[in-house]
Structure 1
Amino acid sequence: MAQNNNFKRSLSNSQIQLIALGGTIGTGLFLGVGDSIKKAGPAIILIYALVGFFLFLMMRALGELILSDLEKHTYTDFITKYLGKRIGLSSGYLYWLAYITLAMAEMTAWGIYFQFWFPKMPLWLPVTVTVLILLSINIISAKVFGNFEFSFAILKILTVLCFVAFITFMALFGKKTYFGALSLSNMYKYRGFFPNGLHGVLEGIQMAIFSFVGIEMIGFTASEAQDPKKIMPKAINQMPIRIILFYILAILSILAVIPWNKIAISYSPFVQVLNVVGIKNSASFFNFVVITAAVSSTNSIIYSSGRLLFSLCYGREGRWNKTMGHISRNMLPQSALIFSALMIALAPVLILLIGNDAFNFISAVTTSIFLLMWIIMLITYLVYVKTDRKDLTFKLPLAPFSDYVLIAFFSLVVLILLFLKSTRVPMLVAIVISILLSLILKLQDSDFFKSKVKK
């Protein structure tokens, strides 16, 4: 039977809505926000709002691109169409690697928090077992993946909403803590709203962006959504609400309880807040939530990276492409899913090589690679708008001008990360990786390499 590259449309409206909603909540919020607050102070709220705004506009652009041709499964299919095969292939593998490093960062956080309960357990064991379980879920069917992610998303969403509601309740009834009454005056009492100046604001950008990386993952669900033209616009348009609820309100709640300069960075600020307001032994619960967030993110990444690798290999010649571009009997890219999961399972090796700073370094590299990919995607959208724009109801407002603004913003962030000492090496690593990938793929397509293979 001839195989095609169409996946089964088994993801419902509610599943995709919850996947999109839960996708905004991960270790960047539960773990990374403390470090961001320490660097930028209360100004971190403006950073999250600014980054969230530009990412919302980016998703409007990418959403329009996806809906313009639902036969294409990934953004790299569009890059290939509008920027050429070579750029499409090299950026596709770069994008796939971005997801792999993101999952490694999530698994690194997962392993560290798992050792909270079992300090003597080797890190590789829980990480490997978890990846294998998630792989099993992904190779059964997209519907099983959707149900699993749906449950994880609900847990994360309810945790953040309950946290914000509880702190709001305490503030309304004048409850006091070790630091005094709950008050938003903490936003300016301690050396002002910008306590560390412009440098502190710039330092906080990397983790803020990391909190949102993978936000475009919802685009991968379009090929398996039951009604993508209805579901996708709704999920994307709800992004501003999600940003306000799950980041800005959560950070405001933290700062209302604890002054920014008293935030601990060795563990989750959510745990610190609950301890301060008198809820003892909250560490185990939030430890479970952070683990759930990491597992949920990794689950989504295995789903997305498998489909991306399949898309890169489908229809191309060679044993590697034939293997990774194969669809199983249950209409899933099984080989690509398995290989992607095996790569993610190498996270403990990086932890051994890098040491205690593994999470910060891997997350910074991930952020850097995603920034490069977002710029390429936005350039792709620019070509689409100028040459092949469809008559859709869901469009990026003020395009192409707004697209130029988006490209300029993300390019500026790349320069900022190169300027800052703490992010310079990870950004350079991302640039070097992208150049090497391009050179390797160019060499593979050369007549010299093909003649050597034939011999």
Structure 2
Amino acid sequence: MGKNYKNENLQRGLDNRHIQLIALGGAIGVGLFYGSSAAIQMAGPSILFSYLIGGLVIFIIMRALGELAVDQPVSGSFSSYANRYLGTFAGYFSGWTYWFMWVVVGMAEITVVGVYVNYWFPNIPQWLTALAVLVVITMINLANVKAFGEFEFWFALIKVVAIIGMILLGLGIIFLGIGNGGQPVGLDNLWSNGGFMPNGIKGILMSLVLVTFSFGGVELVGITAGEAKNPQKSIPSAINSVVWRILIFYVGALGIMMILYPWNEVGTNGSPFVLIFEKVRIPGAAHIINFVVLTAALSAFNSGLFSSGRMLYNLSLQNNGPKYFGKLNKNGSPIRGILFTSSLLLVAVVLNYIVPEKVFMYISSVATIAVITSWTIILITQIKFRKSKTKQEIEKLAFKVPLYPVSTYIALTFLALVIVLMSFISEMRIALIVAPVWFIILYLAYNVKKKNRTESSIDMENVIIPSSD
């Protein structure tokens, strides 16, 4: 293993079941429960086609990450690989951008948690809930990695059970007429309200932006590689099942929604999940779904703090971040990186105090750009990784990208298309302004760091060492 990885002292405390559920939880965000309505309004029933396209691209990206992670299982994931195969600036750029993404996502999720808690306790200020969640999740992440894995396992399991329950109930209503007087609903809603593609190709294209955002977080499984007990087995297993998760949880759940309700009515009378549970007369349906979405937000926040702490730790090992972040606590967790990220997330607590409703869409758009940047670097690094190998070494790789290099270039083209499409959505345009500013800041910071390092080396060369005579 290369020089960038030898200093890693993180504990390998994640079992295969942890890895599987972390990957599963990463693919299922809050957007599926409440954010799916906006995507459906753009594309109608053809949103199912959008998720299939997006899912195929995500599968290619994940296989590219898996090829690297199985060969070199480290916690810094693609930042470490970019540093090794694309150069120090690429490692610096990708690591800090991914960290920035999780800080932004953390701010969004901590805001959402406050909203869901207010559903039950409207008198509790949103900022107070955000602060309490920040403290609790930080404490979980400062415990050993197994504690994080257990919490994430159960958080993800709640989401999975809720979606499977919704799909099964939906199928019962559609084919058996449960909750509908024994009268099967049928499939007519998929094409009877303006057709399967009511807004044409344009609707499908525009929806790809929101579809891409909803998949943000699937790459988290690569971050876990440095702390997996058996990464050569658990990482391929988790990645290979991504495509099935997408088919079942996204296409399946959204398909059920649009069969039961006309696509142009989905989301207009509350969450479609709540409506389905109420339709079969399950008591407290709204409370059940509120609890599920609350755990989904907590899961995303928990994962974000985990990822950002590990990324800062690895950046310090690469000399792409302050050495300060290279310290582990007695539990083997990167304490300083976690606490630094938590302190920045206090900004979200302040925003929840000042403007509790206005920040979510802007934060989401910035996160979309950041995750697209990370995925692009994964693909480019994988191309460079392959070019660095001999034919014999490539044949020995345990986990390869299928149909390479065509598949990798198709995925890169898709990501470029999504960035172009963002310019046509007014709420997303702010990200196209914030992203270049962030990239310029990183470029300047890197060059200042590089200059200081060079000057320090020159100063050391000029030091006159006294003679021992």
Give the TM-score, by structure 2 length. Answer: 0.89
Asked whether 1:236 is paired with 2:239, we answer yes
The match for 2:30 is 27
- Residue-by-residue CA offset, 1:151-172 (whole Å, 9 max, x unaligned): 1111111111011111111222
After superposition, the Cα gap between the structure-2 partners of 1:265 and 1:217, relative to the gap in structure 1 and judged at 3 Å, is farther
Partner SS for 2:219: helix
The match for 1:96 is 99
Superposition deviation, residue 352 in structure 1? 5.8
Partners of 2:355 and 2:420 lie apart in 1 by: 25
1:225 to 228, 231, 245: 228
The match for 1:360 is 361
Partners of 1:378 and 1:384 lie apart in 2 by: 10
Asked whether 1:272 is paired with 2:259, we answer no
Comparing 266-275 with 48-57, which one deviates more in the overlay?
Answer: 266-275
The match for 2:435 is 430
Q: Which amino acid aligns with 2:386?
A: V
Partners of 1:376 and 1:432 lie apart in 2 by: 19
Asked whether 1:443 is paired with 2:448, we answer yes
The match for 1:184 is 187
After superposition, the Cα gap between the structure-2 partners of 1:76 and 1:265, relative to the gap in structure 1 and judged at 3 Å, is farther
Partners of 2:75 and 2:165 lie apart in 1 by: 39
Asked whether 1:250 is paired with 2:253, we answer yes
Asked whether 1:404 is paired with 2:409, we answer yes
Partners of 2:277 and 2:291 lie apart in 1 by: 15
After superposition, the Cα gap between the structure-2 partners of 1:355 and 1:143, relative to the gap in structure 1 and judged at 3 Å, is closer
Partners of 2:143 and 2:61 lie apart in 1 by: 32
Q: Which amino acid aligns with 2:411?
A: L
Asked whether 1:107 is paired with 2:110, we answer yes
The match for 2:463 is none
Identity across matched positions, percent: 36
- Residue-by-residue CA offset, 1:269-310 (whole Å, 9 max, x unaligned): 211333345445311111111000000111111111100011
Partners of 1:299 and 1:110 lie apart in 2 by: 12
Partners of 1:201 and 1:183 lie apart in 2 by: 24
After superposition, the Cα gap between the structure-2 partners of 1:449 and 1:126, relative to the gap in structure 1 and judged at 3 Å, is farther
Q: How many residues align?
A: 447
Q: Which amino acid aligns with 2:142?
A: I
The match for 2:131 is 128
The match for 1:419 is 424
Contact 2:22 2:153 in 1 (8 A): yes
Asked whether 1:46 is paired with 2:49, we answer yes
2:399 to 387, 394, 415: 394
Partners of 1:191 and 1:315 lie apart in 2 by: 55
- Residue-by-residue CA offset, 1:309-358 (whole Å, 9 max, x unaligned): 111123639xx712211122222211111112222342243456666342
Asked whether 1:85 is paired with 2:88, we answer yes
The match for 2:324 is 323
- Residue-by-residue CA offset, 1:1-45 (whole Å, 9 max, x unaligned): xx9422111111111112212222220111211111122211111
Indicate the structure (1 or 2) with the bigger Cα radius of gyration.
Answer: 2
- Residue-by-residue CA offset, 1:56-89 (whole Å, 9 max, x unaligned): 1110011001122225632101111111112211
Contact 2:80 2:318 in 1 (8 A): no
Partners of 1:73 and 1:438 lie apart in 2 by: 20
Partners of 1:444 and 1:4 lie apart in 2 by: 22
Alignment RMSD, CA only? 2.4
Partner SS for 2:119: coil
Contact 1:152 1:293 in 2 (8 A): yes
After superposition, the Cα gap between the structure-2 partners of 1:252 and 1:49, relative to the gap in structure 1 and judged at 3 Å, is same
Partners of 1:89 and 1:6 lie apart in 2 by: 21
Give the TM-score, by structure 1 length. Answer: 0.92
Q: Which amino acid aligns with 1:343?
A: L
Contact 2:54 2:212 in 1 (8 A): yes
Partners of 1:91 and 1:362 lie apart in 2 by: 19
Asked whether 1:166 is paired with 2:169, we answer yes
Partner SS for 2:423: helix
After superposition, the Cα gap between the structure-2 partners of 1:346 and 1:72, relative to the gap in structure 1 and judged at 3 Å, is closer
Contact 1:28 1:208 in 2 (8 A): no
Q: Which runs of 5+ in 2 are unaligned?
A: 1-5, 460-469
Superposition deviation, residue 406 in structure 1? 1.2
Asked whether 1:62 is paired with 2:65, we answer yes
1:153 to 148, 151, 156: 156
Contact 2:188 2:259 in 1 (8 A): yes
The match for 1:139 is 142
The match for 1:376 is 377
